[in-house]
Chain A
Amino acid sequence: MEKRVVWRSSWLPYALVAPQIVITIVFFFWPASQAVWQSMLLQDAFAANVQFVWFDNFVELFRDPRYLASFRVTAVFSVLVTVIGLSLALLLATFADRVVRGGGLYKTLLIWPYSVAAAVAAVLWVFLLNPTLGVLTHVLRAMGVEWNYLLNARHALILIVVAAVWKQISYNFLFFLAGLQSIPRSLIEAAAIDGAGPGRRFWTVVFPLLSPTTFFLLVVNVVYAFFDTFAIVDASTAGGPVDATTILVYKVWRDGTQALDLGSSNAQSVVLMLIVITLTVIQFRFIERKVNY
């Protein structure tokens, strides 16, 4: 779609796009190209010795068992965050869509976690699940569970999953609710007249019609789990115990700041960049299809 009526000026359009383009080049393209360039360099912490090594950093990276372990942790983490987050949100949205009274109130009460910073969400859950004085730790202990996320790798992973799911629930809920409300009532009524109960109607009519929303949320949640959860990890487990919760974005940061291994850190950045590009392409191809559909 293009405008027929346009203005003509030899300089004005350039002046209008200039602020955005300058910021984009200085803070996006230049650093990103530096990351790609440096991912092929071997340098010590003070950049005194620099050597061009082609793809050695990448080869090294994929030979490093700790990097592969971080990949596994990220995979498990993002699957858990996505599956649990989507299921809970879908459950709540389905019932919020059904209730006649109070739907708006429930909506208001469920959307506010969106406004909580990921780091703050992590701190709130760290407090609830603190090994010595957490309120939930006390409840768990009464049930016979010796909860300690500082020592137990599985507990640490559960902690970051819970915080990440909690933070994302409003987003998923809102999109599911909007999706449910756009399903024509007549279809559901027709199924009811044919004798299908609520459960049957959900699985054979509502759920298939909701699949565009579900697929969209699937991609968004994977991106969220991969990239937006840095704050959650840093403010709660700091990647520990040992490397049990060191997800990929956290490892990039730690290898750059603490291990001072810039070549490897930049190689990791490039790998992450390829992952984002893949996910963005999937998302856009899908959205194009949805428009035609």
Chain B
Amino acid sequence: MVERRPLFAVASHLILIAGVAIVALPLYVAFVASTLSFDQVTTVPMPMLPGAEAINNYATVLEHGSGLASRAPVERMMWNSLVMALVIAIGKITISMLSAFAIVYFRFPLRRTFFWLIFVTLMLPVEVRIFPTYKVVSDLGLIDTYAGLTLPLIASATATFLFRQFFLTVPEELAEAARIDGAGPMRFFRDVLFPLSRTNIAALFVIMFIYGWNQYLWPLLITTQENMYTVVIGIKRMMAGGDQATEWQLVMATAMLALLPPGIIVIAMQRWFVKGLVDAEK
């Protein structure tokens, strides 16, 4: 602050508090709704303080889903989402690190071609090649499998670039020293580059975990059986019965469960999250 203006400081806080309140409103209402009974949720206006049905509602969705529309247990969906998010995050980091290592530390024919092949994938988001990709996955027999859910999303130009940028800043002396000591390339990768990349890995992990957990279009196409639904898809399916059949207290309980794991990761790993977000856009 350049000069003292007490009134201005108060106004700043008021604006920020208003912003935080507006941002938090949907979450608060969803939380309250998830603790109410069906009758309470459908009264107009709905009570604005938490009710007594929390444990009941959460236990119901976790074990039986929403009775009227979709009976798939949310427990299973949470597991599917977790598998999908972890495989995508770890898979992306692994294959991008390996290819960035090859591109930076080796000279070989087609090196530039490979680099451009990876670069161009930035311009091909899932949304623009939905049906042909679906056809490839179904021809490979991967519908309703974890491989089908994750493999097509695992290639990432962003992560490869990030590791390439980072490897380029690693001092040459380290590689030279490793070579003099008789270490081979994989030994150098494991004992020098990998430990040095830890913060980058943590930052990317946060971003990619959220990316994987929150996928929508792809699981919507690839999962046809209830036991393969991810939780984000499950919520949509619960609302499929139309207005009368929607048990909002259960839908909101599921929504709370769906946003909890990525939410915790963002808050708990805030430093890496911000780093990951900023780095990924360079």
Contacts and interface: CB of A to CB of B under 8 A. Distances in A.
B235 A119 contact: yes
B232 A253 contact: no
A124 B13 contact: no
Query: What is the interface residue range for chain B against chain A?
Result: 35 or more
Given A31-B133, A99-B9, A127-B251, A120 B258 contact: yes
A211 interface: no
B217 A230 contact: yes
Contacts of B55: none
Interface residues of A, number: 97
B117 A21 contact: yes
Interface stretch (B56-64, B65-73, B97-105, B193-201): B97-105
Looking at A117, A262, A272, which has the most chain B CB atoms within 10 Å of its CB?
A117
A108 B270 contact: yes
Given A27-B152, A115-B210, A276-B124, A120 B130 contact: no
Contact of A20 (B3, B13, B136, B155): B155
A109 B26 contact: no
Nearest to A106: B16
A220 interface: yes
Q: Is the interface of B mostly helix, strand, loop or mixed?
A: helix
Contacts of A189: 2
A256 B130 contact: yes
Looking at A13, A23, A192, A272, which has the most chain B CB atoms within 10 Å of its CB?
A13
Given A28-B155, A116-B259, A269-B128, A169 B103 contact: no
Q: Is the interface of A mostly helix, strand, loop or mixed?
A: helix
A292 interface: no
Contacts of B128: 32, 35, 227, 252, 269-270, 272-273, 276
Contact of A119 (B30, B96, B236): B236
A135 interface: yes
A108 to B, nearest CB: 6
A77 interface: no
A87 interface: no
B49 to A, nearest CB: 13
B279 to A, nearest CB: 12
Interface in B117-133: 117-118, 121-125, 127-133
A20 B9 contact: no
A207 interface: no
Contact of A23 (B111, B154, B188): B154
A92 B16 contact: yes
A7 B172 CA distance: 12
Contacts of A231: 216-217, 232
B35 interface: no
Contacts of B216: 117-119, 230-231, 234-235
A224 to B, nearest CB: 11
Nearest to B101: A16
B82 interface: no
Interface string A132-144: 1101001000000
Given A17-B102, A120-B259, 18 more contacts: A3-B175, A6-B105, A8-B107, A20-B98, A23-B154, A24-B117, A27-B155, A32-B124, A99-B16, A114-B210, A115-B265, A133-B44, A133-B46, A166-B26, A178-B278, A192-B2, A256-B130, A266-B132
Interface of B: 1-3, 5, 8-9, 12-13, 15-16, 19-20, 23-27, 29-30, 33, 41-46, 48, 94-96, 98-99, 101-108, 111, 114, 117-118, 121-125, 127-133, 135-137, 151-152, 154-155, 160, 168, 172, 175-176, 179, 184-186, 188, 210, 213-214, 216-217, 220, 232-233, 235-236, 239, 243, 248, 251-252, 255, 258-259, 262-263, 265-267, 270, 273-274, 277-278, 281-282
The 8 closest A-B pairs by CB, nearest first: A31-B132, A117-B214, A16-B102, A231-B216, A34-B132, A115-B262, A13-B106, A124-B26
